[in-house]
Amino acid sequence: MAKYKYKFLVIDDDESYIEDSLNIYAQDKRIKLLYASNLEDGIEIFKDGYGFHGVILDVICLKTRDQEIPDNSFITAALTYFNNKANALPVVALTGEPDETEVGRLKGLFQGTMEVFTKANDEEKLLAFLKQEADKLPQVKLRKQYKNIFDIVEKCLGSDAEKELEQCLSDLSHTELPKIKGSLVNIRSLLEKIFIALNAVDNTMVLDEHIKPYGKLDVKVRPIFGHIKGNFDPRTQTNTTDVYVDHQSSTFKTMDFCYSICSNGVHAIDQNEPFKPTKHTVTSTLHALMDTILWFDREYSNRAPVK
Per-residue model confidence as pLDDT tens digits over 153-174: 999 999 899 999 999 999 999 9
The verdict on 127 and 260 lying in the same domain is no
Residue 1 counted as domain residue = no
Residue 18 counted as domain residue = yes
pTM score of the predicted model? 0.84
CATH number, domain containing residue 132:
3.40.50.2300
The verdict on 113 and 244 lying in the same domain is no
Q: How much is the pLDDT for 292?
A: 98
Among residues 88, 104, 136, the one where a domain terminates is 136
| Domain region containing 69 | 6-136
The rounded distance, in Å, linking the Cα atoms of 250 and 256 is 10
DSSP 92: E
* Position 243 pLDDT exceeds 60: yes
Among the residues of the chain, which ranges form H helices? 15-17, 23-28, 39-46, 74-85, 100-109, 123-134, 138-145, 147-156, 159-170, 177-201, 221-228, 250-270, 279-303
Q: Does residue 87 or residue 112 have the better pLDDT?
A: 87
Residue 57 counted as domain residue = yes
The verdict on 31 and 122 lying in the same domain is yes
The verdict on 62 and 210 lying in the same domain is no
Q: What is the number of structural domains in the chain?
A: 2
The verdict on 151 and 287 lying in the same domain is yes
List the beta bridge partners of residue 117: 94
The verdict on 258 and 130 lying in the same domain is no
* pLDDT level of residue 111 (50, 70, 90 thresholds): confident
Residue 236 counted as domain residue = yes
The verdict on 13 and 128 lying in the same domain is yes
Q: How much is the pLDDT for 84?
A: 93
Residue 89 counted as domain residue = yes
Q: Does residue 96 or residue 236 have the better pLDDT?
A: 236
The verdict on 202 and 106 lying in the same domain is no
* pLDDT level of residue 54 (50, 70, 90 thresholds): very high
The verdict on 117 and 154 lying in the same domain is no
Among residues 95, 115, 136, the one where a domain terminates is 136
Give residue 284's identity as a one-letter amino acid code.
S
Residue 240 counted as domain residue = yes
* Position 2 pLDDT exceeds 70: no
Q: How high is the mean pLDDT of the chain? A: 92
Residue 122 counted as domain residue = yes
The verdict on 160 and 296 lying in the same domain is yes
The verdict on 100 and 145 lying in the same domain is no
Among residues 86, 114, 136, the one where a domain terminates is 136
For the chain, what's the residue count? 307
Cβ neighbourhood burial of 283 (10 Å; 0-12, 13-18, 19+): middle
Residue 95 counted as domain residue = yes
Provide, rounded to the nearest whole percent, the portion of the chain with pLDDT above 90. 76
The verdict on 48 and 106 lying in the same domain is yes
